[in-house]
């Protein structure tokens, strides 16, 4: 029984996404045939939304609330668990793990998938859901 399960928020520790927050979409504690180590498929925020104010024009507000995502398979050793979980039961209805796993092998499909899911997460940000996830770490 691993603590690293789908819906758990993690912080990336290694690589170019170090210090970024991510959510576990699928965990494979025993590994698979192509990856023989324990790993998880994570989706995280590469570029966080900027601060907005009431008096900003709509065009500026749209630009500042954009979210850029990353999806990758990462070794359990390279993520740090947090106490936070996805409490939104609607989250995994909109984000399909099977689509993400298949898109990891195909670059154009991955890019299309990331733009689709960025729109979903942008709506969650605008509705003030999962607020902790959309703030960069302070360190």
* pLDDT beneath 50: ranges in the chain: none
How does pLDDT run across 28-40, given as a tens digit for each residue? 988 888 889 999 9
What pLDDT sits at residue 87? 86
Strands 39-47 and 21-28: antiparallel
Give the CATH class of 8-132. mainly beta
What pLDDT sits at residue 28? 92
Measured between alpha carbons, how far is 7 from 25 in angstroms, rounded to an integer? 6
Q: In whole angstroms, what separates CA 129 from the centre of its chain?
A: 14
Distances (CA, A) of 126 to 26, 32, 67, 78, 130: 26, 37, 11, 30, 10
What pLDDT sits at residue 1? 55
How does pLDDT run across 95-120, given as a tens digit for each residue? 888 888 888 888 999 999 999 999 99
Q: DSSP alpha helices (H): ranges in 28-131?
A: 58-64, 91-94, 97-103, 107-126
Sketch the domain layout of the chain as residue ranges: 8-132
Distances (CA, A) of 55 to 43, 45, 64, 72: 32, 26, 13, 37
CB neighbours of 24 closer than 8 A, spacing ≥ 6? Answer: 4, 5, 6, 7, 8, 9, 10, 40, 41, 42
What pLDDT sits at residue 102? 87
What pLDDT sits at residue 67? 93
């Amino acid at each position: 029984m691993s603590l690293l399960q789908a819906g758990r928020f993690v912080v990336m520790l290694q690589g170019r996404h170090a210090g970024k927050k991510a959510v576990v979409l699928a965990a494979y504690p025993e590994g698979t045939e192509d990856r023989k180590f324990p790993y998880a498929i994570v989706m995280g925020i590469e570029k966080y939304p900027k601060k907005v104010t009431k008096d900003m024009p709509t065009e500026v507000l749209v630009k500042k609330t954009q979210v850029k995502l990353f999806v990758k398979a990462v070794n359990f050793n390279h993520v740090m668990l947090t106490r936070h979980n996805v409490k939104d039961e609607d989250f995994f209805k909109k984000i399909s793990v099977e689509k993400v796993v298949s898109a990891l092998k195909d670059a154009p499909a991955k890019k299309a998938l990331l733009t689709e899911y960025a729109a979903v997460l942008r709506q969650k940000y605008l509705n003030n859901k999962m607020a902790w996830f959309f703030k960069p770490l302070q360190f």
